[in-house]
Amino acid sequence: ETGVTQSPTHLIKTRGQQVTLRCSSQSGHNTVSWYQQALGQGPQFIFQYYREEENGRGNFPPRFSGLQFPNYSSELNVNALELDDSALYLCASSSLAGVTGELFFGEGSRLTVL
């Protein structure tokens, strides 16, 4: 069974640039959620994708957008980067048909905005 994988693991961008983060969900999982974890804070829900459509969104501006592909992998795109976007971005997969409801997290992509 393949776990959740994310890329890149680390990246540095400058303010105003755009970034794309990628996530491959765990085998058999059809739902992907993205979280932003600032240093010393809990993960904050950005949005969730199910069947290639957004299926719930947290309190994040429209410059945070995403995609889900037919193989259930996903991308998170952030436009017009701001300094406060510096954080660990976590992807988590799950199955809506699952019994436990557990989210399986990837190791994250650490974004630094200068």
Q: Report the C-alpha gap between 89 and 7 in whole angstroms.
A: 10
Q: Report the C-alpha gap between 94 and 50 in whole angstroms.
A: 10
Between residues 70 and 101, which has the closer beta carbon with respect to another protein? 101
Between residues 10 and 15, which has the closer beta carbon with respect to another protein? 10
Q: What is the Cα Rg of the chain in Å?
A: 13
Between residues 10 and 63, which has the closer beta carbon with respect to another protein? 10
Contact residues for another protein, defined by CB under 8 A = 4, 31-33, 35, 40-45, 48, 50, 55-56, 58-59, 90, 92, 94-98, 100-103, 105-108
Instruction: Name the nearest CA neighbour of 86 among 112, 108, 114, 48.
Output: 112
Between residues 64 and 105, which has the closer beta carbon with respect to another protein? 105
* Minimal distance, residue 7 CB to another protein, in Å: 14
Residue at token pair 């290639």: 52
Q: Distance of alpha carbon 56 from its chain centroid, rounded?
A: 13
* Minimal distance, residue 80 CB to another protein, in Å: 25
* Minimal distance, residue 108 CB to another protein, in Å: 7
